[in-house]
Structure 1
């Protein structure tokens, strides 16, 4: 079973964060194991009761270290936006799960025009839950084969 860790930048009740939570529920219904965390508190705090917060500030050393600890559990790390992916990259990539960068509504529409960061970063347009399941399974497959 593929384990997906969704990482939000903060606990604001924004449409982007709500969309990730909907995907979390859909993956659970599809048989994938999912967990959602936020790097830090923020915004209106609309998701404070639903999403655990890793650190007092999203761009802190504590956030990097806690995210690194959380990554040990997952097969795929799904970052909501490039800022979250940057924090994930600060924790190092050796032996870590591959990272999928999920686009946010406030990000530019042309991901191909942006330079690709080093590592296993992927950028995809927003997909329906079934397509996300397929993507997460495909990304996690080489990692699981290497550990068996």
Structure 2
């Protein structure tokens, strides 16, 4: 189950014919995010398992997930933005019900990420799922 915002992103990606256009779009999504406050770039929010520096700050307001993040790599910042469209606004139960790999596959991202980026994406997904599981 994906959010309405993610479904809109899937539609956007359907108009992008090649991987380079999709890659640029992911980077643009990352650039459009609000920067993560420096005070939130702490060891507790740092995601291990990523080749680049990644921080995810998640909280639940009114029973739904809201998370922000940052990375020192442009493509990873974009992946954070994509994950935000996938998960933000969902309840903990719904977060746990999302097959993130399948949803990311709908964007054509799985087969074009390097092994390191793929591992980092998995680490970010697991962090979001752990946060949701703690609230469920």
Report the structure, 1 or 2, having the larger helix content.
Answer: 2
TM-score by length of 1: 0.27
Report the structure, 1 or 2, having the larger strand content.
Answer: 1
TM-score by length of 2: 0.28
